[in-house]
Structure 1
Amino acid sequence: MSAADIYPCVISSISPEDGGGYVACFPDIPGCLGIGETLDEALADARQALLACLDALKAVDREPPVPSSSPG
């Protein structure tokens, strides 16, 4: 199971007035998000961002936040 599978992800649509598409974020890690024209693109982008955030925390010897809940 990867980190992207244990952190809850929230996906929201972006209004057409704001360009449309979707934004996916991990509430347990503020500022960690991804965007895309489709749900799949937004989720893939968010997963890459999550892995980068977790790597950055590891690089400075900080523990990642405990997931607030597990999906499913």
Structure 2
Amino acid sequence: MKNLDEYPFEIRPLSEAEGGGYLISYPDFSECISDGETVEEAISNGHDALVATITALEAKGFPVPAPNSGGVASGKFVARVPKTIHAQLTTRAKAEGVSLNSLVLTFLAEGLGRREHHV
């Protein structure tokens, strides 16, 4: 089995509505998550979940991702926006004769350019 300490993880606090404590996830494994009341407990439980995930992948003959393979930008992400903004973007894209993706990409690029210029 690979050196589990090489796999990056993310920890975030859980709100009271989510049950409190901390959630741990591994970017290299989309479905490998765990939690704990404390950060230390979340890390320990996460380690157990990672072992179980890798063991299951190996038992089924599936490839096990290399450490840090989940951090590579795929060029794709999903963003949830209010329906009113979605409607405005769709209307603007149609008026300009471009796809919604092209319009949003243009807005993002322009915004990043302005931010880099002012930073």
TM over 0.5, shorter chain: yes
| Identical columns (%) | 38
Aligned residues: 68
Structure-2 residue corresponding to 1:47: 47
Higher fraction of helix: 2
Taking the aligned partners of 1:18 and 1:54, their CA distance within structure 2 comes to 27
Across the aligned residues of Structure 1 and Structure 2, the Cα RMSD in angstroms comes to 1.6
> Structure 2-normalised TM-score?
0.53
**How far did 1:31 drift?**
1.1
> Structure 1-normalised TM-score?
0.84
Taking the aligned partners of 1:11 and 1:19, their CA distance within structure 2 comes to 15
Taking the aligned partners of 1:18 and 1:57, their CA distance within structure 2 comes to 29
Deviations 1:7-60 (A, max 9, x none): 101000001232210001101101101101000111111100000000011101
Question: Which one has more relative contact order, counting CA pairs under 8 Å at least 6 apart?
Answer: 1
